[in-house]
Amino acid sequence: MPIIVKVDICVGCEACVNECPFGAIEMKDEKAVIGDKCTLCGTCVDICPSFAIEMADEPKSAPTEDLSAYKGVWVFAEQRNNKIVSVAYELLGEGRRLADSLGEELSAVLFGTGMDAEAKSLIEAGADRVYQVEAPLLNEFHEDAYADALSQLIKKYKPEIVLAGATSIGRAFVPVVATRVRTGLTADCTALDIDGEKKNLLQTRPAFGGNIMATIACPNNRPQMATVRPGVMKRLPPDAARMGEIIKEAPAGPLTSKTRLVETIDEAGHRINISEAEIIVSGGRGMGEKGFELLREIADMLGGVVGATRAAVDSGWMPYPHQIGQTGRTVSPRIYIACGISGAIQHLAGMQSSDMIIAINKDPDAPIFNVADIGIVGDVFEVLPAFAKKLKEMRG
Ligand SMILES: Cc1cc2nc3c(=O)[nH]c(=O)nc-3n(C[C@H](O)[C@H](O)[C@H](O)COP(=O)(O)OP(=O)(O)OC[C@H]3O[C@@H](n4cnc5c(N)ncnc54)[C@H](O)[C@@H]3O)c2cc1C
């Protein structure tokens, strides 16, 4: 739904130029012209005193440009403090599979200065090419500068698919990029595939409160853009012998930001990174408040972390950063031990790609057993103390 200016009605008053929150409107020959930074927020439509600006209400039903010009799969390699976040490597694993099935190349996009070793690690993780945009402003996250830099690259190179992590950074700026390049975006995907016939990207995500999984395609616009939850896709083992191309890009124009980063503060007490844990000992309502002490003890002995269901978090037994599921974290540890957890679909959405799931539940019909590799029908307060005792013996 683009915004259009009716040039015969526009009186050149510049009210829209002054009011546009994104600085997206300029005057040309005394008429307003909507630029690339437009996010379709509609402020100009509301503000125009002569009703010369409108939202065009006809959605596009067919491609308006040659889609075959778009080639290749891109992964945005998010970094924080010069360290690439785990989801970027996971997306390269998935991107490799998608690119191979399309017969196209896989590229990573990396922002920031002094990141040469990280660029190489992206090639080792599956990329054929890395576009490295080196600008000091991109060392830290600034939504407008990130959106400018990625939109410019997409317009220049025309990738067919662009993937990014559904992290707080990805969720903030990737929708802005999708708007700038006039395409769709499926947020928070849990599965991706290529349609065998039309070669469109099939993007699957939970819908209607997690009760159904919706598969979404974007047949008329390019690139096809998706954000993907951390922990859902599998990274490839790094291959130091892989060869690839690193292209250093300068931003097309000077990057600016309306924001200034004053300080970054870790959330006190929430330093666990459950998304990257290899072993998670997770508890549900069946554990009761006291049972979580036992889970902490076992997790410590195994070198893992404690996870929780929403029921346990809502009861105040564990803080929210430990919640696993559709409205919590997505995890894929080597071992997930589900204790007193029924296995509701919203919980499974966050943990079922774990390598091995061990479930303990006293109800033999609990749905968690449908996804468990090892199921123990029993009382957690009998099974877990026996397990903890055995672990202590093994550790001497
Ligand atoms: C929009 C939406 C989003 C949601 N997001 C999430 C989410 O992100 N994460 C999430 O987890 N949930 C989420 N939920 C909630 C979800 O639907 C379930 O209500 C929740 O996962 C249930 O948690 P539970 O398994 O701990 O509790 P219950 O479903 O009550 O299950 C408790 C289990 O413990 C077993 N049990 C009890 N006592 C013992 C014992 N002594 N020994 C062994 N087993 C025992 C019982 O047999 C039972 O199976 C969401 C719901 C909605 C509607």
Dihedral sign, Cα of residue 63, residue 64, residue 66, residue 68: negative
The secondary structure element, H or E, covering residue 185 is strand 185-189
CATH code of the domain covering residue 346: 3.40.50.1220
- How would DSSP label each residue in 247-309? EEE--SS----S-------PPTT----GGG-SEEEEE-GGGHHHHHHHHHHHHHHHT-EEEE-
Bridge-based pairing state of the strands 3-5 and 53-55: antiparallel
- Residue (of 306, 305, 295, 285) closest to 361 by Cα position: 285
Burial class of residue 56 (count of CB atoms within 10 Å of its CB; 0-12, 13-18, 19+): exposed
Atom of ligand 1 nearest to the CA of 380: 42
Considering the domain architecture, whether residues 188 and 300 belong to the same structural domain is answered as no
Considering the domain architecture, whether residues 100 and 169 belong to the same structural domain is answered as yes
Mean pLDDT, to the nearest integer, of 42-47?
92
Considering the domain architecture, whether residues 318 and 172 belong to the same structural domain is answered as no
CATH code of the domain covering residue 184: 3.40.50.620
- Residue (of 236, 235, 260) closest to 332 by Cα position: 235
Spacing, Cα 294 to ligand 1 middle (Å): 18
| Residue 130 forms part of a structural domain | yes
CB 363 less than 6 A from any atom of ligand 1: yes
pLDDT mean across residues, the chain: 92
- Residue 270 scores a pLDDT above 50: no
Atom of ligand 1 nearest to the CA of 360: 43
Considering the domain architecture, whether residues 90 and 239 belong to the same structural domain is answered as yes
Tokens of 18: 């002054």
The CA distance from 19 to 389, in Å, is 67
| Residue 30 forms part of a structural domain | yes
CB 361 less than 6 A from any atom of ligand 1: yes
Mean pLDDT, to the nearest integer, of 122-147?
96
| Residue 205 forms part of a structural domain | yes
Considering the domain architecture, whether residues 208 and 289 belong to the same structural domain is answered as no
Spacing, Cα 347 to ligand 1 middle (Å): 7
Spacing, Cα 90 to ligand 1 middle (Å): 28
Considering the domain architecture, whether residues 224 and 88 belong to the same structural domain is answered as yes
| Residue 259 forms part of a structural domain | no
Is the separation of the CB atoms in 92 and 118 below 8 Å? Answer: no
Q: Give the residue with greater pLDDT, 161 vs 41.
A: 161
Mean pLDDT, to the nearest integer, of 136-161?
96
Spacing, Cα 282 to ligand 1 middle (Å): 11
pLDDT in tens, 207-222: 776 667 899 999 999 9
Alpha helices in 15-128 (DSSP H): 15-19, 43-47, 86-102, 116-124
Task: Return the pLDDT at 265.
Answer: 74
Considering the domain architecture, whether residues 279 and 245 belong to the same structural domain is answered as no
Q: Which residues are CB-neighbours of 314 under 8 A, at least 6 positions away? A: none
Tokens of 72: 């290749």
Task: Return the pLDDT at 73.
Answer: 98
| Residue 148 forms part of a structural domain | yes
Atom of ligand 1 nearest to the CA of 209: 1
- Residue 121 scores a pLDDT above 90: yes
| Residue 268 forms part of a structural domain | no
Mutate to test the pocket of ligand 1, among 309, 315, 371 (most ligand atoms within 8 A of CB): 309
Dihedral sign, Cα of residue 144, residue 147, residue 150, residue 154: negative
Considering the domain architecture, whether residues 221 and 316 belong to the same structural domain is answered as no
Considering the domain architecture, whether residues 150 and 14 belong to the same structural domain is answered as no
Model's pTM, two decimal places? 0.68
Atom of ligand 1 nearest to the CA of 366: 49
Mutate to test the pocket of ligand 1, among 329, 330, 347 (most ligand atoms within 8 A of CB): 347
Give the chain's domain count: 3
* Cα 201 versus chain centre, distance: 16
Is the separation of the CB atoms in 83 and 111 below 8 Å? Answer: no
Task: Return the pLDDT at 210.
Answer: 63
Mean pLDDT, to the nearest integer, of 189-215?
87
Spacing, Cα 311 to ligand 1 middle (Å): 5
Considering the domain architecture, whether residues 243 and 289 belong to the same structural domain is answered as no
Spacing, Cα 353 to ligand 1 middle (Å): 18
The CA distance from 312 to 322, in Å, is 10
Spacing, Cα 317 to ligand 1 middle (Å): 13
Residue % of the chain over a pLDDT of 70: 96
Query: What is the domain extent for residue 41?
Result: 3-55
Spacing, Cα 87 to ligand 1 middle (Å): 27
pLDDT in tens, 53-94: 998 765 556 777 889 999 999 999 999 999 999 999 999 999
The CA distance from 205 to 10, in Å, is 43
Considering the domain architecture, whether residues 136 and 240 belong to the same structural domain is answered as yes
- Residue (of 155, 21, 38, 178) closest to 5 by Cα position: 38
Spacing, Cα 19 to ligand 1 middle (Å): 48
Is the separation of the CB atoms in 255 and 145 below 8 Å? Answer: yes
| Residue 267 forms part of a structural domain | no
Residue nearest to atom 38 of ligand 1 (CA): 286
The CA distance from 16 to 154, in Å, is 28
Considering the domain architecture, whether residues 116 and 175 belong to the same structural domain is answered as yes
pLDDT in tens, 289-340: 999 999 999 999 999 999 999 999 999 999 988 999 988 888 889 999 999 9
pLDDT in tens, 1-13: 578 999 999 999 9
Residue nearest to atom 47 of ligand 1 (CA): 363
| Residue 289 forms part of a structural domain | yes
Residue nearest to atom 39 of ligand 1 (CA): 286
Cross-strand bridge partners of residue 305: 280
Which residue bears the tokens 């992590």?
A: 165
